[in-house]
Amino acid sequence: MPRCHLFEWEDQAWLPVVFRNFITDHLRYFLTRKVREPVNRAIAQRLKSLLIRTDSNQIIDLCAGAGGPLLAVHRILAEDACEPVEVLLTDLYPNVEAFQKHVREGGGAINARYEPISAFDVPFGLQGLRTLFTALHHFQPEGARQLLADAAHKRQPIAVFELLERTPRMFVLTGLFSLWQSFIMTPFVGRLTLQRFFLTYVFPLAPAIFFWDGVVSVLRTYTPQELRELTDSIGVEDYAWEVGRFDAPGPGGIVLLPTIFLLGWPTVPVEPDLLATVPHELATS
């Protein structure tokens, strides 16, 4: 299928918070359920290796939405992989209510920035392994390249996971599942306010928006080959990239669900005080 960068509601700065939070709350709910455990374990294993390789103990989650799968992955890292790590949630449009809930329940290991943080120019003070979960497809190729280049130029490791694949099969599955979850699971996703109830069951605009963004996300998802072309165009010395995909059992353990990933890391350590010497225009070129 050719890549089509169609309109997504979640990308619009003017989208009312009630709809944005509906989308991010549903994504977090699905991505942290037990049926996603095999996928989250596969992600945790790759993050553990990258954390050890880069001697990092903090994850900076970009475009975090409502927390996504990182919270489940963080639990696996802490409990099973014996890899304690702190998490900082950031987003250009933070879901403040969700962030605050995760911070309260995080036992001091999860923090958040409530002001807008752009993935194109992450502040120098936020150092650690950058992660993006089902978020890179929101960016046009030049924007995706700029996001990756910011990590490379600032000598920060980055891990991108797209829990989608641009295939007819995923297009159909994503569309059907988004509608099913919107109507069946909304009472268990976030707070069922009167406004959310009305926009789901009386005037179902929220499910329609969630459905549209879901199927468009499939059409926007980058293939491994397209990701390799993006990283090849960055050309930063002493910085390595790995691109791949894997399948993991989905609901019922029968259906295999794909995940496309991209990992990047500096191969030569750089002293923290030298990071400030990177010109702003180079870091965001």
pLDDT in the model for residue 223:
97
| Residue 172 confidence (pLDDT) above 80 | yes
Measured torsion, CA atoms of residues 216, 246, 37, 96, in degrees rounded to the nearest 10: -40
Q: Please tell me the least confidently modeled range out of 89-98, 100-109, 123-132.
A: 100-109
Measured torsion, CA atoms of residues 27, 3, 251, 185, in degrees rounded to the nearest 10: 30
Q: Are strands 239-249 and 158-162 parallel, antiparallel or unpaired?
A: unpaired
Tokens, residue 249: 């059992």
What are the structural domain ranges in the chain?
A: 31-171+221-283
| Residue 272 confidence (pLDDT) above 70 | no
In degrees, to the nearest 5, what angle opens at C-alpha 45 toward C-alphas 47 and 55? Answer: 40
Rounded distance between C-alpha atoms, residue 216 and residue 121, angstroms: 26
- The pLDDT confidence band at residue 285, using thresholds 50, 70 and 90, is very low
Rounded distance between C-alpha atoms, residue 182 and residue 174, angstroms: 12
pLDDT digits (tens, 9 = 90+) for 134-157: 999 999 999 999 999 999 999 999
Please compute the mean of the pLDDT values over residues 33-55 and round it to a whole number: 87
| Residue-level length of the chain | 285
Q: Name the residue type at position 241.
A: W
CATH of 31-171+221-283, one of 3.40.50.2000, 3.40.1010.10, 3.40.50.720, 3.40.50.150: 3.40.50.150
- The pLDDT confidence band at residue 251, using thresholds 50, 70 and 90, is low
pLDDT in the model for residue 98:
87
Q: Please tell me the least confidently modeled range out of 32-36, 164-168, 213-217.
A: 32-36
Q: What is the CA radius of gyration of the chain?
A: 18
Tokens, residue 230: 């993006």
Tally of CB atoms within 10 A around 17: 11
Rounded distance between C-alpha atoms, residue 67 and residue 252, angstroms: 24
Q: Which residues have a Cβ under 8 Å from the Cβ of 185 and sit 6 or more positions away? A: 26, 29
| Residue 281 confidence (pLDDT) above 60 | no
**Burial degree of 79 (CB within 10 A; 0-12, 13-18, 19+):** exposed
pLDDT digits (tens, 9 = 90+) for 78-95: 887 677 789 999 999 998
Can you tell me which residue has the tokens 């030049």? 142
